[in-house]
Structure 1
Amino acid sequence: MWDEYDIIVNCTGLSAGQLTGDPSIVPSRGQVMRVDNSSGKHTFAYIDNGTERMPYYIWTPDYTVIGGTKLIGCTDSQVSQNDHDLIIENCRKYFPWLNVVEDRIREEVVGFRPSRPAIRLEEEHICYKGANKWIVHNYGHCAHGIAYSWGSAHVAVELVIDILQRSKL
């Protein structure tokens, strides 16, 4: 694979730890629900309440995602009734206009996000078969991927452009 490319952008999520040997990557359990839309006034809201169960919603044209949890190191893939109840309670408290009721829930899921002490967003130079190669790392966003993705993608593109200009590729 390296023979064909001079630059690889690494946005591998949980696999980044295995791929790069980064021991700081751990899973962060997230539980969310997809509910029928009730309001398209806002697209995204997040309340940092200082806990592992922070209320947020992300409006899409088809449904609204409400959440959620950020349980770092937790690998339980089962939907938790306690988290379910807390998500609904938090959304009713902080986002009453969403009108979250049980019969509007389409789906409830648990997933795992890549967590690390800080996002890894940097370039790495390596020598492969005598040739200069670069990796631009962009991973470890934890529960903030949706919020940080545009900005970190922009920085990753700037790193690639800088590498291209410096190395005259």
Structure 2
Amino acid sequence: MTPIESLTEYRLLTPQEVRTFSGPWKYGSFMKTLLVENQRHLPFRRRGGQAMKRHVTSLEELADEFDVVCNCSGLGAGVLAGDRDVLPVRGQIFQVRAPWIKEFIFTDQDAYIIPGLEHVTLGGTRQFANSKLAVDEFDSRAIWEKCNRLVPSLKDAKVVREWVGLRPYRHIARVEREVITSKRGKPTHVVHNYGHGSYGVMGAPGTAMHAVRLVQEALEADVKARL
């Protein structure tokens, strides 16, 4: 997908448009782009992929079974890859029914309003090294007040649910290849692809294509080693 296809319009807001939003805003921008619904984003099984559920405590456990292992374990990479740079970033949101909301809004105060296919997402929080999964009433109040200041009509929205998730943050996303050895001495290539934080959907196309190239390199290296 070319940049033109994913960003069909971009311009600065006029001073009059900026004043329509409550807050200390001095400037803003308007754009038209794609919306990705995460639950529908990965057609893994439709493409012939097979899902296996099992508990793994180290990547070495997989070395005897597979020639290449792709490590996309998110926060789990802290244990599986022994990566101390992986941190949880706590995010809390509302999902509401507000079909009149047609445009998304992001601000530099971690306030955002994102219309989706079935609901509108109101957020949010960005709390580093916080693993608390319970909904926090003070965060709820702050999110609701921030979003209602931006779009007062949200006061009439029906709350569907509140939700908390943990973003797998790393100061630099790790996309690289290494070779590990099983307890039996079998070498296996591992392609790491994790640490995207809250930018997983935006960064996924680029890092996924790079990870695929690394897998191809690993397979080619195995073929040459066997000749």
Instruction: Say yes or no: does 1:104 pair with 2:158.
Output: yes
Whether the aligned pair in 1 keeps the contact of 2:63 and 2:181 (CA below 8 Å) is: no
CA, structure 1 residues 87+4, in 2 after alignment: closer, same or farther (shift >3 Å)?
same
CA, structure 1 residues 91+160, in 2 after alignment: closer, same or farther (shift >3 Å)?
farther
Cα distance in structure 2, aligned partners of 1:117 and 1:30: 17
Aligned to 1:101, the other structure's residue is in SS state: helix
Aligned to 2:214, the other structure's residue is in SS state: helix
1:85 corresponds to:
141
2:116 corresponds to:
60
Share of identical aligned residues, percent? 33
Structure whose residues are more often strand by fraction: 1
TM-score between the two structures when normalised by the length of structure 2 = 0.61
Q: CA deviation at 1:125?
A: 1.7
Instruction: Say yes or no: does 1:134 pair with 2:189.
Output: yes
Stretches of structure 2 lacking an aligned partner (at least 5 in a row):
1-61
TM-score between the two structures when normalised by the length of structure 1 = 0.78
Cα distance in structure 1, aligned partners of 2:99 and 2:161: 16
Instruction: Say yes or no: does 1:6 pair with 2:61.
Output: no
- Of structures 1 and 2, the one scoring higher in RCO (CA 8 A, sep 6+) is 1
CA, structure 1 residues 36+155, in 2 after alignment: closer, same or farther (shift >3 Å)?
farther
Instruction: Say yes or no: does 1:22 pair with 2:78.
Output: no
Larger Rg: 2
Cα distance in structure 1, aligned partners of 2:198 and 2:209: 19
Cα distance in structure 2, aligned partners of 1:114 and 1:105: 27
Q: CA deviation at 1:37?
A: 4.3
**1:158 aligns with one of 209, 213, 223:** 213
1:146 corresponds to:
201
Please show how residues 40-51 of structure 1 align to structure 2 within 5 Å.
41-42=102-103, 46-47=106-107, 49=108
Q: CA deviation at 1:100?
A: 2.4
Cα distance in structure 2, aligned partners of 1:138 and 1:155: 9
Aligned to 1:111, the other structure's residue is in SS state: strand
CA, structure 1 residues 68+134, in 2 after alignment: closer, same or farther (shift >3 Å)?
same
Q: How many residues align?
A: 162
1:121 corresponds to:
175
Letter in 2 for 1:168: V
Aligned to 2:132, the other structure's residue is in SS state: coil
